Amino acid sequence: MKYLITCAIALSLFTPALAQDLMKMLESETEKDAKPDYATATFKTTRIINGHSVENVAAGVLDFRISHRFGNVNGGAYELWGLDEASMRLGLDYGLTKRWMIGIGRSTYQKQFDGLTKFKVLRQSTGTRRMPVTLSAMGSIMYKSIKFEDPTRENYYTSNFYYCGQLLIGRKFSEGISLQISPTYIHYNLVQELNDPNDLFSIGFGGRFKVSKRVSINGEYYYQLPNYKLTGTQNSLALGVDIETGGHVFQINVTNSTGMTERSFITDTTGDFFHGDIRIGFTISRVFTLVKPKESKIN
């Protein structure tokens, strides 16, 4: 009799134990299928403020970007604190693959055209593969189409070309904090002053701090190496807020730079941020899905 009771107890213990174990069994079965967990949305868009972030446009997605930088705030009431004047860039970026994007743009600043390509080399991940940072390589060409200052001189169209190469090294430290370092090389075919170097080097520092799920504060600073910068230029500093609303991202910012391409804002900024040469600016990014991803098909 005793044993019958024991048996009954054993059975009653055994059955629910089995039931709970099914989840454990599933977990252990699927453990080996685990994939690396990639960090996503290190930054909200492909730009921190003026400069590139480690982010790409998703595959098959077109990003239309309208950027404005108004005049200097220290122009006073007469210039409506800079709002009377605006420098603008229209840009189209497209994601060829998950890792590779291309883009074109036109700026009012010196009537400049630009083309860019960016490739994600490494992706920050945890789990089965560990990578502490995301690394992207960015290259761009800029062409200034404004008429030559002195048409009587012998001018070459090649003088208007500028090239930029950047490594973007970013890390999402937590949901709220992402930081990036961007070593940058810029080449000028023609420089203004005799003593100016044609090869310019700088290091960019950028960060984003999320204040809510849809709002973040961004900062960006490009330090130009002393012997590799143009005469009379300042380092570019920008502070901004990203606000996300469905398909749009609004970026509102203040910066001492006028241009919005690498060579313009990194190496051709003349305004001094701390002497009031601050411009209010904004960027609107709107994405359009041109090619739907295969994984989203329901069969």
**By rule CB under 8 A, what string of x and - marks binding of each residue 174-203 to another protein?**
-x----------------------------
101 binds another protein (CB under 8 A): no
Nearer to another protein, 195 or 212 (CB): 212
Write each residue from 58 to 87 as x if it is in contact with another protein (CB under 8 A), else as -, in one continuous string: xxxx--------------------------
Phi-psi region of 41 (alpha: psi -120 to 50; beta: other; left: phi over 0): left
Please identify which residue in 149, 150, 193, 295 interacts with another protein, judged by CB under 8 A. 295
With respect to another protein, which residue has the nearer C-beta, 181 or 241?
241
152 near another protein (CB under 8 A):
no
Q: Which of 81, 154, 227, 247 binds another protein (CB under 8 A)?
A: 247
* One of 77, 158, 226, 246 touching another protein (CB under 8 A): 246
Q: Does 298 bind another protein (CB under 8 A)?
A: yes
Site for another protein in 209-238 (CB under 8 A): 213-214
Residue from 111, 130, 275, 292 that binds another protein (CB under 8 A)?
Answer: 292
| Options 37-45, 73-81, 188-196, 258-266: segment touching another protein (CB under 8 A) | 37-45
Q: Which residues bind another protein (CB under 8 A)?
A: 3, 6-7, 10-11, 14-15, 18-19, 22-23, 25-27, 29-30, 33, 37, 40-41, 58-61, 95, 175, 213-214, 244-247, 287, 289, 292-293, 295-299
